[in-house]
Amino acid sequence: MFSFAGRTGGAGGPGALNRADERDVLVALRGVWIERIEQGRKTDMGERQSDGGLSGRGSRHALLDAEVEALIVASLMRDGVDAEAEQRAVAAFRAARSAGAHRTRTRRRDDWSARERRYLGRSLRTTLSVLLASLTLGGVAVAAIGAVDSSTDGPGGGREHPPAPSSAPRDPSGMPSEGRRTPGPGTGSPSARPDRPAPAQDTEAQCRAYRQVEGRGRAMDSTAWQRLVEVAGGESSVTSYCAGQLAEAKPEPGPARNGGAAAGGPDANEGANEGANEGVSGSANEGADMGQNKSSGKNEPAQQQPDQRQR
C-alpha cells in the first residue's frame, strides 16, 4: 500500500502495517483526526455565518505546517527498530572493522563536518563573485581591446587589427551598406561592428571602469589597462585623459553620426592616429582613421571592411 507501483493493500488489510505498535499509532492518529474533523465542522459552520471572509487561514487550509509535519512523521516513522535488521547491520560493521575498512580515506562526499558544510557555502559564494568579476573585467577587456587597438594601429600596435591593405579593393558594397545601415540613435557605426560598442564608447567605458578599479588589485596589471596607460601617455595622465574623454562623451545626445561625438575622436587620439596613418598606405587612409572618431560616414565602409575580412 505504500508502494508507488500500486496500492496492493488498500483499505482492505493493513499490509505492511501488521505490527501491533504500528496499528496503534494509526488508530490513535485516526481518532485524533476524526475528533478534529468533528470540531472543524462545527466551528466551520458557525464561522461561515459570522466571519464575513475574514478568516485568514480559512477553513480550507486550516492545517499548520507543524500539523502536517506531525502527520507525516506519524505516517512514515515507527518507533523502535527491527532487531534482526539491526543485527545484520552490526554484523556488517564487524566484518568491515576486521577487514580494516574503517581506516580508509575520507572522500569529499564523506565529509559532513560543519566546517566542510560552511566551506561549501562560502565556496559557492566565492565562485559566484569570481564569475561576476571575471564577466565584468572580461567585458571591460573586450571593450578595451577594441578601443586601444583602433587607436594604436601604428607599427607594433595593431597586431590583431592590421590596417586595411592597400591592395584591397574598396568594398563595392560600401555605398549600399550605407543604405543598409539603420540610422539608429547613438553613436557612429553600430552596424559595422555589431558585437562591439563604438570605439568612443569603449574608451568611455574603460575610463569609467578605470575610475572604479583605480589602484585596486591586479586589474591594473592587465594588458588592457597597460594599453590605456600607454594611450594616455603615462599612468599619471590616465585620470586627466579619462576626464577629457568622459566630459566629451556627455554632450552626445542623440543620433550623432557626425555630430558632437566626432569631437571625441581626433582629440582623443591624435597621436595614435598619426602612427596609424604611417602604417597605412594609400587608399586605406580613410579607414585607418577609424579610431575613436566617428567623424564621417565615409569612414565607415573602410572600417567595416577589415573587420569583415578578418572574421
Partner 1 sequence: MRAHDEELGAAVARAQQGDEAAFAVAYRLVQPGLLGYLRGLVGNDAEDVASDAWLDIARDLGRFKGDGAGFRGWTATIARHRALDHLRRQRVRPRSSALEQDVLELPGPQSTHDQALEAMSTERALELVQGLPRDQAEAVLLRVVVGLDGPAAARVLGKRPGAVRTAAYRGLKRLAGQLGAASVTDEAPRTLGEST
Among positions 109-138, residues that touch partner 1 (CB under 8 A) are 109-114, 116-117, 120-121
2 counts as binding partner 1 under rule CB under 8 A: yes
From 39-47, 173-181, 231-239, 274-282, give the range in contact with partner 1 by CB under 8 A.
Answer: 39-47
Q: Which span (26-34, 169-177, 186-194, 214-222) binds partner 1, by CB under 8 A?
A: 26-34
Q: Does 243 bind partner 1 (CB under 8 A)?
A: no
Q: How many residues does the chain have?
A: 311
Distance CA 307, CA 163 (A): 10
Q: Interface with partner 1 includes 97 (CB under 8 A)?
A: yes
Q: How far is the CB of 21 from partner 1 (least distance, A)?
A: 12
- Report the alpha-carbon distance of residue 86 to residue 253 in Å, rounded: 79
Q: Does 4 bind partner 1 (CB under 8 A)?
A: yes
Binding flag, residue 20, partner 1 (CB under 8 A): no
Where are any strands of DSSP class E within 12-59? none
Contact flag: residue 176 with partner 1 (CB under 8 A): no
How far is 110 from 102, CA to CA, in rounded Å? 13
Q: Yes or no: say if 154 and 272 are a contact pair by the CB < 8 Å rule.
A: yes
Per-residue mark of binding to partner 1, 43-62 (x: CB under 8 A): xx-xx---x--xxxxxxxxx
Binding residue for partner 1 (CB under 8 A) from 12, 20, 49, 105? 105
d(CA 99, CA 93): 10
Task: Work out how close the CB of 235 gets to partner 1 at its nearest, in angstroms, rounded to a whole number.
Answer: 43
Instruction: Identify the H or E element spanning 249.
Output: helix 238-249
Q: Which of 20, 49, 102, 183 binds partner 1 (CB under 8 A)?
A: 102
Closest CA to 158 of 173, 170, 166, 148: 148
Instruction: Decide if 197 contacts 146 (C-beta within 8 A).
Output: yes
CB of 133 to partner 1, least distance (A): 21
With CB under 8 A as the contact rule, the residue among 12, 18, 73, 310 that binds partner 1 is: 73
Q: Smaller CB distance to partner 1: residue 51 or 274?
A: 51
Q: Which stretch binds partner 1 (CB under 8 A): 24-32, 186-194, 252-260, 294-302?
A: 24-32
Dihedral sign from CA coordinates of 190, 193, 195, 198: negative
CA distances to 23, 144, 187, 218, 257 from 181, rounded to whole Å, are 80, 25, 12, 40, 12
Closest CB to partner 1 among residues 113, 240: 113
| Per-residue DSSP letter, 159 | S
For position 237 contacting partner 1 by CB under 8 A, the verdict is no
212-232-292 Cα angle (round to 5): 90
